[in-house]
Structure 1
Amino acid sequence: MKFIINRDQILAPLQQIVSVIEKRQTMLILSNVLLQIADNQLVITGSDTEIQIVCKLNLETEAESGDITVPARKFLDICRLLPTGAEIKFELHDDKVKLSSGRSRFSLSTLPAEHYPEFNESEFDYQFLLNAGKLKKGLDKTIFCMANQDVRYYLNGLMLQISNTRLKLVASDGHRLSIFEDDIGQSTGYEARIILPRKAVQELSRLLDDADAELNIQFSSNHIKIYYKDVVFSSKLIDAKFPDFGKVFNQAFMTPILIQKQLLRDALTRVAILTNEKFKGVTLDIANDLVKLSTHNPEHDEAEEELVIDFQGQPLSISFNSQYMLDAVTNLDSELAVITLASNASTCFIEEPEQPLFKFIVMPMRI
């Protein structure tokens, strides 16, 4: 096995692949990347058995076919620290890989390619095409609401729902929920729901760096595969049912409150300095075209700030986690934030004024 490749051609794909590989592995070979040469093409594979990324690179010079696995992070660090534009010569001698570039020489230990675990996938029942920028935006608008190591394991991920021509992404940690909904751009002719695991969502968001690219998405009840340029991203799915959040819309609401997004964001950021570090609670007292944000903590520090709003309803006082509010407001693209409270003060909606693609729901808290 022998090939020559430019450092700049291999670096970005290698970084994407290595990010999937866990630093501590139960199987030593999973710390390696699988390199395969065939038909003058280099195929690089990385996996943690739950997620797999495969990248195909065309080689400009004649290569000698073969396959081997090399330590992922060491290989990446060598490529990363070589000069921009450097040519890397890769040669396999027995159980060692020799890397040379300019006056640099490296020798890496290897493990046989036949020992690299196969990523078993089922037959894919569904398929659709989607703009990468659309999915990337949807992931970014919902990713921060996913739970982390919650016993309700279906919350440790993101729900993807297809309803013929509509795409919906939903994430929740039980205290807040974000919904992104957009048009797919074609008729799929089916309805389906799947839950992507937390790590898969994070890696996918990191991978999608070209908003104009087209994705070919295939999935079944337990696997998803996404073709993106020269990369194939695969992941197992969470086998569970996502909670029905639809009933949160079927209730009476108070008059919506319109407020300048930047003013609210700045005020929340300042007031949050003195919140209780554990609960981060901030109280909103709304009355007479004013909203007063206030907080205190166990050290008896206090903060309050007033903002002018357009509000005609009954006065009310309600408390929220300041970080949840900040996450929602920061993700709005419009200059105005629309805050709508349920009549029984059990739920708060935060969204944009016109045709919002993104809705954020946060539950109030007791202080």
Structure 2
Amino acid sequence: MKATIERATLLKSLGHVQSVVERRNTIPILSNVLIEALPEGGIRLMATDLDLQILETIDAKVETAGTTTVSAHTLFEIARKLQEGSEVSLNAADGKMAIKASRSNFNLPTLPRDDFPIIAEGELPTKFELPAATLRQIIDKTRFAISTEETRYYLNGIFLHVVDDVMKAAATDGHRLARVTVARPDGAEGMPDIIIPRKCIGELRKLLDEVEGSVEISLSATKIRFVLGHAVLVSKLIDGTFPDYSRVIPTGNDKILKIDPKSFMQGVDRVATIASEKTRAVKMALDRDKITLSVTSPENGTAAEEVPGEYSATGFEIGFNAKYLMDILAQIEGDSVEVHLADAAAPTLLRENDKAAALYVLMPMRV
């Protein structure tokens, strides 16, 4: 194969595909990116970790069509360090790839394309489109709550399911829950309940920054495919059952605090400065229109701050993990958040208002 491509175009595309490639691989071919120079012009780049696969097509002048594979991270680093504005020539033959740009020359070993694994998508019966902005909102408002605990692998992703005429996305790590509700897109009726893995969510979110308009989504019970402009992302889904999270969403929390999320978050952040790294616990004492945040740390002393808010129910004290609380408050876009409380041991519900697409549940801590 022989092709010429602009450095900026190559770098941008390699930035997308190489992040799928795992740094440590026992199978050498999985460290490589598949490069296919197309007879009609253009280059196709593909990378995979056997669970997630990305394919991107970019503009290039093709002299000789052909396919090879070369180290993804090495090629990315070369492209990153080449002079801005340079034209990059890629020429692969006899187990080597020659890379030329301006006064720089590189020769990299290649591996045959036949060894490169490709995820078989199979039938993807459910097909629908979602606006890129909606998909960004779903990810941004839920992914912070995805669990990183490998033993509960079924929580290591975002749960997507359809209920009547709405689509719901949820993530939880057992301490907090985030859920977003959007209108059900045409074509999604009858879709299976799926769990999209954390790594796929991360790569999808990066690609969404460059997409306007809609994203085509096709899925089965085991695989999902996203078509985003010039890029196609295919991922295996998590094979597990997501817990019935609706059971933990409180419906009878009658003590309501209305507060500005930004000043609340800043207050929590300030008093949490002295909280012990292990627990990050902050106590919240509620009184009529008076909220006092405090931290007591055996090593670092004490801190307290009053924050303004509307509260007219019976006063009591409750404790939260400061980081979890701040993660939720960071997602609230308006200038008011409703905090629905019951008692010091019951889950707390947070949302902008009763019409908001997103709601959050946070488990309290003993303080």
Displacement of 1:331:
0.9
- The verdict on how the C-alpha distance between 1:92 and 1:150 changes in structure 2, with shifts beyond 3 A counting, is closer
| 1:45 alignment counterpart | 46
The answer as to 2:273 corresponding to 1:289 is: no
| 2:98 alignment counterpart | 98
| 2:209 alignment counterpart | 209
- The verdict on how the C-alpha distance between 1:286 and 1:277 changes in structure 2, with shifts beyond 3 A counting, is same
Displacement of 1:297:
1.5
Letter of the structure 2 residue corresponding to residue 11 of structure 1: L
| 1:302 alignment counterpart | 302
- The verdict on how the C-alpha distance between 1:320 and 1:53 changes in structure 2, with shifts beyond 3 A counting, is same
| 1:86 alignment counterpart | 86
| 2:65 alignment counterpart | 65
CA contact (8 A) 1:163 1:190 kept: no
CA contact (8 A) 1:7 1:82 kept: yes
Rounded Cα–Cα distance in structure 1 between residues aligned with 2:229 and 2:105: 32
Letter of the structure 1 residue corresponding to residue 68 of structure 2: I
Matched residue of 2:356: which SS? Answer: coil
Matched residue of 1:192: which SS? Answer: coil
Matches within 5 A, 1:309-348: 309-342=309-342, 345-348=345-348
Rounded Cα–Cα distance in structure 2 between residues aligned with 1:198 and 1:19: 14
| 1:365 alignment counterpart | 365
Letter of the structure 1 residue corresponding to residue 57 of structure 2: K
CA contact (8 A) 1:158 1:198 kept: yes
Displacement of 1:83:
2.1
Rounded Cα–Cα distance in structure 2 between residues aligned with 1:115 and 1:245: 42
Letter of the structure 1 residue corresponding to residue 239 of structure 2: D
- The verdict on how the C-alpha distance between 1:326 and 1:106 changes in structure 2, with shifts beyond 3 A counting, is same
Rounded Cα–Cα distance in structure 1 between residues aligned with 2:289 and 2:250: 27
Rounded Cα–Cα distance in structure 1 between residues aligned with 2:358 and 2:28: 42
| 2:243 alignment counterpart | 243
Comparing 124-133 with 160-169, which one deviates more in the overlay?
Answer: 160-169
- The verdict on how the C-alpha distance between 1:187 and 1:223 changes in structure 2, with shifts beyond 3 A counting, is closer
CA contact (8 A) 2:321 2:364 kept: yes
Q: Which runs of 4+ in 1 moved over 6 A?
A: none
TM-score by length of 1: 0.96
| 1:196 alignment counterpart | 196
| 2:153 alignment counterpart | 153
What is the CA deviation profile of residues 218-248 of structure 1, one whole-angstrom value per residue up to 9, with x for unaligned ones?
Answer: 1111111111101110111111111111123
What is the CA deviation profile of residues 142-199 of structure 1, one whole-angstrom value per residue up to 9, with x for unaligned ones?
Answer: 1110111341111111101234652221100001000111224536332431001111
The answer as to 2:126 corresponding to 1:126 is: yes
Matched residue of 1:355: which SS? Answer: coil
RMSD over equivalenced CA pairs, Å:
1.6
What is the CA deviation profile of residues 306-345 of structure 1, one whole-angstrom value per residue up to 9, with x for unaligned ones?
Answer: 1222111111111010111100111100011111113674
Displacement of 1:31:
0.5
Rounded Cα–Cα distance in structure 1 between residues aligned with 2:99 and 2:185: 46
CA contact (8 A) 1:165 1:188 kept: no
Rounded Cα–Cα distance in structure 1 between residues aligned with 2:165 and 2:37: 40
Displacement of 1:261:
1.4
| 2:220 alignment counterpart | 220
| 1:230 alignment counterpart | 230
Aligned residues: 366
- The verdict on how the C-alpha distance between 1:122 and 1:187 changes in structure 2, with shifts beyond 3 A counting, is closer
Letter of the structure 1 residue corresponding to residue 151 of structure 2: V
| 2:138 alignment counterpart | 138
Structure 1: state its 5+ residue gaps. none
Letter of the structure 2 residue corresponding to residue 71 of structure 1: S
Displacement of 1:274:
1.0
Rounded Cα–Cα distance in structure 1 between residues aligned with 2:246 and 2:164: 18
Matches within 5 A, 1:177-196: 177-186=177-186, 188-196=188-196
Question: Percent of aligned positions with the same letter in both sequences?
Answer: 31
- The verdict on how the C-alpha distance between 1:245 and 1:342 changes in structure 2, with shifts beyond 3 A counting, is farther
| 1:56 alignment counterpart | 57
Comparing 111-120 with 225-234, which one deviates more in the overlay?
Answer: 111-120
Letter of the structure 2 residue corresponding to residue 114 of structure 1: D
Comparing 225-234 with 299-308, which one deviates more in the overlay?
Answer: 299-308
Rounded Cα–Cα distance in structure 1 between residues aligned with 2:250 and 2:157: 25
